[in-house]
Chain A
Amino acid sequence: MRSTYWLTALLGWLLTASQAFAIDPLPFKDAAEEDRFRALTSELRCVMCQNQSLADSNAMIAGDLRKEVFALMQEGKTDAEIKAFLTERYTDFVLYDPPLQSKTWLLWFGPLAILLAGVIVVIMIVRRRAAGPDQTPTPSNDEEW
């Protein structure tokens, strides 16, 4: 029981420690600026470890790009300008929200198309059942398979 407590405490400490490590101390002038920085870097994808956001990653390049994002914020650049700066160098890869282009329409509308196909199949099955078993005899499972 006691050991579980200590393990939990250790785990909690490790989690908070790694969190603190990922975020370098940057001289934010107020909380609003820090919130904007957090929001922006969590929308950007780390180029080295690509299943992490720029905000979470410990990769060296992620730290450098966080510093760069911070410097651009100090220069008064908008979020869109900062994203453009990064896509010019690292392509749309850095954006978690890829722009709508001819290349990405399948990505954006593919799930919707699958959902529509599912709806059509369900409607077809419901209609066939509503037509009654006397008109289209439903074969038993053994026959079908």
Chain B
Amino acid sequence: MIRRLLPFFAFVALSALLYAGIRLSQERDPNAIPSPLIGKPAPEFALPALHQPDQLVRKSDLLGQPYLLNVFASWCPSCRVEHPVISELARSGRLKVIGFNYKDQREDALRWLQQFGDPYAQILVDADGRAGIDLGVYGAPESFLIGADGKVLHKHVGPVTAEVIEQELLPLLQGAQP
């Protein structure tokens, strides 16, 4: 009897394995590389500001308040998709949003912001992508949640949605603030 049912059990086991694989890839984007920086201090940077190109912004200048570092570029189609969400978040004042203009031309970035609006408290320019490599950026859009102490709390690859803000980003801040 058991010998006869063996193929059936093998089938059930295989189905369970494949189903688990499907579920796992639904929960998390299998192509998104988790950041090795989570829980660690963000790398040091000194980058020019988009609106004041002669002014360097350092990591230490941004300490004291948590912020979302939003990697965007005018050449990135998905950045347009997430832009209204980012703008709404910045407008609500619930989280400071800093732009990270990644591998872009200054004129293109300014024109893009003029067209779609500029929600950013400040915009850092990483023209050659070198600072992006230190952060582990490999595309746009990507967003890093940085704590008031300069530690990386979270990284989101791809467009930020309202669900990402409510379920991934803001709960982390409530945990950090007393």
User: Which A residues lie at the B interface, using CB under 8 A?
Assistant: 47-48, 50, 60-61, 64-65, 68, 87-91, 93, 144
Say yes or no for B156: interface residue by CB 8 A criterion: no
Provide the main secondary structure of the chain B interface: loop
Q: Contacts A50-B31, A68-B133 known; A61 to B36 CB distance under 8 Å?
A: no
Jot down 30 A-B pairs with beta carbons below 8 A, ordered by A: A47-B33, A47-B138, A48-B138, A48-B139, A50-B31, A60-B103, A60-B129, A61-B129, A61-B138, A64-B128, A64-B129, A64-B132, A64-B133, A65-B133, A68-B130, A87-B36, A88-B36, A89-B36, A89-B37, A89-B133, A89-B134, A89-B136, A90-B33, A90-B36, A90-B136, A91-B33, A91-B34, A91-B36, A93-B33, A144-B4
Which B-chain residue is minimally distant from A46 (CB atoms)?
Answer: B138
Using a CB–CB cutoff of 8 Å, the interface residues on chain B facing chain A are 4, 31, 33-37, 103, 128-130, 132-139
> By the criterion CB–CB under 8 Å, are A90 and B138 in contact?
yes
What total count of A-B pairs have CB within 8 Å?
A: 36
Chain B residues with CB under 8 Å of A61's CB are 129, 137-139
Extra A-B contacts (13), CB below 8 Å, given A47-B138, A61-B129: A48-B139, A64-B128, A64-B132, A64-B133, A68-B130, A87-B36, A89-B36, A89-B134, A89-B135, A89-B136, A90-B33, A90-B136, A91-B35
Query: In the assembled complex, how far is the CB of residue A89 from the closest CB belonging to chain B, in whole angstroms?
Result: 4
A1: shortest Cβ distance to chain B, in Å?
44
Q: Taking CB as reference atom, which chain A residue is nearest B33? A: A93
Chain A residues whose C-beta falls within 8 Å of the C-beta of B35 in the assembled complex:
91
User: In the complex, what's the smallest C-beta–C-beta distance from A24 to chain B, in angstroms?
Assistant: 14
